[in-house]
Structure 1
Amino acid sequence: MSRLALEADTGLTVCHVPSVRSTVVHRLVCSQLADGQRGYWIDARNTASTHVLYDCAASPRALEGLQIARAFTAYQHHSLVRRVARVADSETALLVAPNVVDRYRDDDLREYEREELLAATLTILGELGHALDCPVLVTAADEDAGAAVSEYADHEIECLETREGIRLEGEGVQTDGYWHGSYWQTTIPYWVEVCGALDRGIDPVVRAYDRGLVESTADGEAETEVIV
């Protein structure tokens, strides 16, 4: 398990995850919500596991303000998004809709309905984030879903699986370290945050190549960050 730090911006942020069962969204939600802050989770594919959420939360109080609603059809999902748009207010700290595209792929929808309904859902979520000045986090687990959501997204995050754990890449996000049982493997960015950089002219995020922590990048070259 990795320790993830997210500084989510206003608007719609899509996190490209390796699978619909990825728990990275649970960790990002828990890193974003402080004790008692209000948040809304619009669930698809039974992603919202209370056991995972409480394992990721700094304290049980961090989740007291999180409300979860599950959708089993595209119409239910869209209705829940519209419902959240009516009840969310300036006290809302976060909106999250994991696997946001999946319900709109169901066979009971005609193709034109599928596209129009999904477009309406993503538009509402994006506008709601701007209106409330809060981050809206959605996930996409494959290229088609990612392409559909990216058109409406203000920000994008890539979720990469490494031998040390999950690493996130994108503006406003940072992986500080990786938990391994009883010890925590730190990274250079973590120590830069704690101690500061010695030389401001040197990029504090040091990259090492061909260390075997990541299978490959898009161009086929092995890549990872230095850990200490």
Structure 2
Amino acid sequence: MKKLSLSVLLCSITLSLAACGDNFLAANVSLGGSGSGTQKPVPGGNDNSSNTSTGDGDERYEYVARIPAETLSTCSGVERRMRFIDAESKQPLPVDTIRSISPLQIEIRNTTPNYIYEMTPLCRHIDFKIGTMDIEASQSFKCSRDQDSIQVLKPFETRTYEVDLKFAETQEPITVNYYAFYSAELPSTDTIWDKCDVAQATVLMHKRLIPKTEDDDTSIEFPTEAEPAQ
């Protein structure tokens, strides 16, 4: 495991060990979170409706995802789990299901009996890649772009975030990266942080033709001429 020494902004670290910077936003991309205890879920999320587009003529298409297996990585006693969930039930979706894009759940769990400090470089927990194009999430309004943010994970605390990806109308794979460094020591300007590998999830996207139904038939049928009475 690599070590990294950084000067950090101590964001709301008080005697009560309160956390800060719960919500992180990007253009058309949102990350809402909840934690065990003091944090509340951010309302919203995916309504499971497919993104549709029109093709040649009157053909209609939708963009759907092939649900990948969940990913799990551990660093300094902190588990980072990433999986796609149903927007309503919050239950994990079956692997290889083809469906409209659903929220990506990121679960951060402190598996130790100690307080763990999580440092986010440049206030950027997540960024995205669509195909080969990088999309950088904008920083939280609670932090400026040239600052780092710190949150506190209580012993055995679990925090859950949802990344809304319904903006994605693409056939390119979508990759979500979660960045964080950790320390079990009270942070200072001389803190040596455990630099973790990025936690990452990738979902494959597909463009699918929407079959026509009788309701889609816009042709006009004229009544036939009545036969003369006998």
Instruction: Provide the TM-score with structure 1 as the length reference.
Output: 0.23
Higher fraction of strand: 2
Larger of the two Rg values belongs to structure? 2
